[in-house]
Chain A
Amino acid sequence: MTAEPTAPDNVAALAGPPVAATDENLRERLGEFRALLVISLLMTESVSEDQILDLAASSAPGLGRWRIDGYSFTDGQWRPGTGPASPLPGGLAGQGASPSRCGGRAGCSAT
């Protein structure tokens, strides 16, 4: 199995430079998947949309060097996320609405 990081040209490189797929790195990724599984289980027992969003937003920094700027809902709404207010990346709200209801890749231009 090869795991070469690939990304479209217009995707911002927020996660830093590509990391070699050593055993240790792969194991770390698997550990993060396991943590994501737990986060998912915790979301299913959450009693409100706000709890789920809080959990998702506050989990993101534990998985990489990125931040939550806002939430895009399938009804086309955009809501700012936690953290300091910042201008929305151009066109992100529109692109966030483009994946299917089951999710999918969304690209964003580096700002």
Chain B
Amino acid sequence: MTQTVPSGIDEIGLLPGSHVCAFYRGDHDRDRLLHRYLSAGLVAGDKCICVVDSAFTAKRLQSLTRASSEAGYSTGQLDIHLPESTYLAGGEFTASDMLTFWTEGMIKAQHEGYSFCRLAGEMTWALRDAPGVENLVGYESELNRVTSSYPVVVLCLYDLDLFSGEVVINIVKTHPQVLVQGILVENPYSVGPDEFLRSSRI
């Protein structure tokens, strides 16, 4: 399958397997991106799995998406999680556990009859003082391997008001596509998982 799917954001189409990072400023901008991205998935009949940073955001997102996509929305189509049960389950970040979480979610969706998945992660949890968060860049690189094997698009959300430019630089290096200012910037030089492992061993 090589046709693009609508991202829901600024008429941007994404190829299956896309792993996109998006930069935004503040809660309003985050909600706008997530709302449009997930609503497009719900209307298309995709399984949507999303991790947001607070219960408040989860509740607001649930109501936003429900209101805007009643025509295509079905119970269980949208799963919203918090970092405590995903990225930081057990009080620490373990990249392999998180990759397993996404993979199992996609396999379960396939068993439930969904032919396409739409994943999203608000990455603000990485600023918490928890063990393992220093492995974020390696995780992002490894996620490229997962996304290339499934009918899925992934959106990783980074708040520019919270993350430093150095993190932005490193995150861009590991994402094949970057969404900024309504423009999808292709990054053909993104660091793949094998390359990242090689460089981190040096």
A residues near B (Cβ < 8 Å) are: 24, 27-28, 30-32, 34-35, 37-39, 41-42, 44-45, 54-63
Contacts and interface: CB of A to CB of B under 8 A. Distances in A.
Nearest to A37: B185
A37 B172 CA distance: 10
A42 B180 contact: yes
Interface residues of B, number: 22
B19 interface: no
Nearest to A41: B180
Main SS of the interface on chain B?
Answer: mixed
Contact of B181 (A34, A41, A55): A41
25 contacts: A24-B195, A27-B189, A31-B172, A31-B187, A34-B185, A34-B188, A34-B189, A35-B168, A35-B172, A38-B180, A41-B183, A41-B185, A42-B168, A45-B180, A45-B181, A55-B160, A56-B165, A57-B165, A58-B166, A59-B166, A59-B168, A60-B166, A62-B165, A62-B170, A63-B169
A32 B165 contact: no
Q: 7 tightest CB-CB pairs across the interface, nearest first?
A: A59-B165, A62-B169, A58-B165, A31-B189, A58-B164, A62-B166, A35-B172
B180 A55 contact: no
A55 B165 contact: yes
A38 B168 contact: yes
A-side interface mostly: helix
B187 A34 contact: yes
Contacts of A44: 181
B181 A62 contact: no
Given A27-B189, A45-B181, A38 B166 contact: no
